Structure 1
C-alpha cells in the first residue's frame, strides 16, 4: 500500500492532473467554439490575448506542477517499486508527461506561436484561423484525455 509522503505525492499529482484536464476540457467544449463563432479578426485577437495570459503564474503553476509531480512519481516509483499500483503510477506519469505536457510542447505551442505572428486584420489570416481552431482543438482533445486518464490512473494506484 502507498503510504506517508508517497501517498501525499500521488494525491497531489492526481489533483493537479485533474485540474489541468478541467482547464483543457473547458477549451475543448466551449471556449474554442465561442472563439470560432466570432469574426476571424476578433477570434484571433482574443486567442492571442488568451495565449499571453495562459503564461502567467496561475495556470503555469498547475500545468508545470502536474508535470513535475508526475516526473517525481515516476522516479520514486522506480526507486521504491511498490508491491501495488506500480503500473498505474507509471502509466499516470507517462500519460501526463507525454500525452499532456509533451503534446502541448510539440503541437499546441507551435500553433500558438504561429498565431501570435498573425495580423488579425489581414485577409489571409481568416483561413489560417479556421485551420488553427480545428488543429489546435483536436490536439487539445488529446490533452484532455491524457490528463484525465493520468488523474484516474493515479487514483486507481491508491485504491
Structure 2
C-alpha cells in the first residue's frame, strides 16, 4: 500500500510541477507578448478557468499526499525516504501552496475585480504593471519549488535506502 500511495504522490506532484513548468515555458511567454487589454482579458479568463475539479484534485491532493507518504515511510531510524518526503511536503506547503494562496491568488482576485470594459488604456497599463511582474515572480518560485519537490519524491521512489 505504501508504494501505491507513493506512486500516486509522485504522479500528483509531477502534474503540478508540469503545469507550472508549462506555464513558464510557453503560456506566460505567449501572454507576455499580448497588448495590455488582451493580456488582462486572457489572464482573467485563465484565472477563472483553472478553478476546476481536476486542478484542485492535483493541487490539493499533492498537499495532502506528500505528508501522508512521509508518514507512511516513517521509521524510528528516520530513513532517507522519509526525510526526502518530509522535506518535499514542507517545501510544497510553503513554496507552492503557500505562495499560491498568499501571493498569486490575491493578485488573481485583484485582477478579477478589474473592470476591463470601462477602463481607460492608462488604467489597463497600470493594472498590468501592478499584476504581471509580481505574479510572474511568485509563479517562478512555485515552479522551481514544485520541480524540486518532484525530484525529491522521485529520488525517494527509486533510491534504495538501507
TM bucket by the smaller chain? 0.7 to 0.9
Aligned length: 154
Whether the aligned pair in 1 keeps the contact of 2:69 and 2:85 (CA below 8 Å) is: yes
Counterpart residue number, 1:125: 124
CA distances 1:65-124 after superposition (whole Å, capped 9, x unpaired) = 11121132244345x455341211111111212111111101100000000011224131
Deviation at 1:150, TM superposition (A): 0.8
Higher RCO (CA < 8 A, seq sep 6+): 1
| Match of residue 57 from structure 1 | 53
Q: Structure 1 residue aligned with 2:102, among 102, 106, 109?
A: 106
Distance 1:83 1:66 in 2: 21
Q: In structure 1, which of residues 23, 26, 48 is the aligned counterpart of residue 44 of structure 2?
A: 48
Cα pair 2:67 2:86 within 8 Å, conserved = no
Q: Gaps spanning 5+ residues in structure 2: where?
A: none
Q: 2:125 aligns to what SS in structure 1?
A: helix
| Runs of 4+ with >3 A deviation | 74-78, 80-84
Q: Do 2:70 and 2:82's aligned partners in 1 also have CA atoms closer than 8 Å?
A: no
Q: Map residues 17-28 of structure 1 onto 2, 5 A cutoff.
A: 17-28=13-24
Q: How does 1:79-118 map to 2 (within 5 A)?
A: 80-81=75-76, 83-118=79-114
Q: What residue number does 1:14 align with? A: 10
TM-score (norm 2): 0.86
